[in-house]
Chains A and B, each alone.
Chain A
Amino acid sequence: MIRGKVHKYARDNIDTDVIIPGPYLKIMDHNELAKHAMEGLDRDFVKKVKKGDFILAGRNFGCGSSREHAPIALSYAGISAVLALSFARIFYRNAVDGAYLLPIEIGEDAYNEIEDGDELEIDLDRNEVRNISRQKVYVMKPFPPLIKRIIEAGGLFNYTPE
């Protein structure tokens, strides 16, 4: 069970160039990358985020580059999960295999009704997203079996294939 405040960006195609712009790709220090998270979209993002918070966004979150810097920057800025209508494939596998944050697929109802600043609770056992601020419960898309096992193991390197 994880709990935090949500930062809503009501748009599709939030790409890796706005999550962490290209010039920072040469930087490998995770905390340094975190200082520039979401810089291309919201310069105040880093100031607003507290450890454990969530991002809520539309379709195709994380599209673009394979840069693992994207989930790293978000994770080290404090984000524990991104809730989105869908994820670009490389961002999704980077988030899971590197155990940086949870990519959680939600439906239109949750996307439309959850507002910026709402307090959420994510229950992975019941596949539920609970909006504490508004007393509403939403179903999240369950993780496919392999993805769930990698998440439970704490990343791909801790996972032993059957």
Chain B
Amino acid sequence: MCGMTITEKILARASNRERVSAGDVVFANVDKVMVHDVSGPGVMMVLRELERRGKKIERVWDPDRVWIAEDHFVPAVDKISAENIMTLERMSERFGIKKHFRYGMGQYGICHTLSHEEAMVLPGEVYVGGDSHTNTTGALGCFATGMGHTDIAYVLIHGRIWFRVPETLLFKLEGSIPPYIMAKDIILKIIGDNGTDVANYKAMQFAGSAVRAMPMDERFTLTNMTTEAGAKNGIIEADEKTIEYVRERTDRPFKAIKGDEDAEYEEVFTYEVDRLEPIVAKPHSPSNIAYARELSSVEIDRAYIGSCTGAKYTDLLEAAKIIKGKKSKVRLEVLPASQSIYIKALRDGLLSIFLEAGAVIGPPTCGACCGAHMGVLAKDEVCVSTTNRNFPGRMGHVESKTYLASPKVVAASAVTGRITDPRDV
């Protein structure tokens, strides 16, 4: 009998079993659960319907394990989104949920940034969120996955939910990362090579010397984009960097878990990162990749630096290094992923660099990444963006065009007005 992967070990622990194997269906206990201003009102609607049918709901299973983010339509975009924020207020009040990150009241931001910045989730835990990019948090070495609001409502009441234990695809990233390459280039390469459903129902695990060398911010880009390969979860075993990152933020106890030496992986993919070139995903799929240099004739109207994938501190820093002292030839938007990133970028002078280049700085929000607000695209507008999806209409008009790229490529492209390899500015 072979050993277990980290994902199997976490799910075995959470379902009180000695062992589980890929394909098993388990009801697992959940350690943490998150809702935001889209999924939270959905959850409350499900609870109202249950009450209408006669079920008494007095409490959630454990209010200390539930946390709330305001990120999609904030600051409130219109009356409906303002009402949704009020629904979140009523939700935290009614159930005694203390961890509610409110915009305009200090630290707040995109849920997939707060999950680790605020140590809402710890290594080894089972974490579910009402958002598909919940996979991001798996870079802490936890099992993190996204669900819809019915499933999240079920977790709020019962503290557990069903999972089919996923097979694991292991991606070994070896070699040293060239200075013009970011994690975004690597994950776009992986999705481009293997397709947007390569990991459907499966876990994507990352390991190897290049992953170990990455700062945590970059690791979160890898796991974030596993959603775009269809993965149930993205995961990276915790190492010293992870432990240090978490310890800087909390003194709560946790147990980091590693997979067994003889764990079984469905498939192992090895990538040598030394010779990678900057990559861009063309409209309208994250798998539709080309080298940035192949697209140097593509003129752009907009450059967007934002989202859970592309507005972490490291993302802003790398973009600022390229833009420093230059002017943007196109409309450039920068939306830091959280209030604390915003403050740090302000103190370190990054925001001045962007402002002097001509950028508009927006508040932390999902914003135009999901076509919600803060710079949605018009018909035929072309945007190069640090976000994670470029489906038709994702960032605005169904005939707008989004090219996904690393913050370095987006910054270089803003400077030239065309899609540009960061080596060429």
- Residue numbers of A with Cβ under 8 A of B are 13, 15, 17-18, 21-23, 25-28, 40-41, 59-60, 63-69, 71, 86, 88-90, 93-94, 97-98, 144-146, 155-157, 161
Contact = CB atoms under 8 A, between A and B. Distances in A.
B149 to A, nearest CB: 5
A60 B81 contact: no
Nearest to B83: A26
Contacts of A157: 46, 50, 150, 153-154
A65 B134 CA distance: 10
A13 B285 contact: yes
B19 to A, nearest CB: 19
B148 interface: yes
B230 interface: yes
B372 interface: yes
A162 to B, nearest CB: 10
B151 A93 contact: yes
A28 B151 contact: no
Contacts of B77: 26
B196 A23 contact: no
A21 B200 contact: no
Contacts of A97: 148, 150-151, 154
B162 A146 contact: yes
Contact of A18 (B72, B147, B391): B391
A22 B151 contact: no
Contacts of A94: 147-148, 150-151
Contacts of A156: 150-151, 154, 162
A15 B27 CA distance: 28
A18 B151 CA distance: 23
Nearest to B376: A23
Given A17-B389, A23-B372, A157-B50, A66 B132 contact: yes
Interface in B356-377: 370-372, 376
A26 B38 contact: yes
B391 A146 contact: no
Nearest to A14: B391
Given A17-B392, A67-B38, A86-B197, A26 B150 contact: no
B393 A17 contact: yes
A25 B153 CA distance: 17
B150 A22 contact: no
B150 A66 contact: no
Given A18-B392, A22-B370, A28-B42, A68 B197 contact: no
Contact of A28 (B41, B164, B230): B41
Given A65-B132, A156-B150, A26 B81 contact: yes
Given A26-B84, A86-B200, A66 B398 contact: no
A15 B391 contact: yes
Given A25-B372, A86-B197, A156-B154, A63 B148 contact: no
B391 A68 contact: no
A64 B285 CA distance: 11
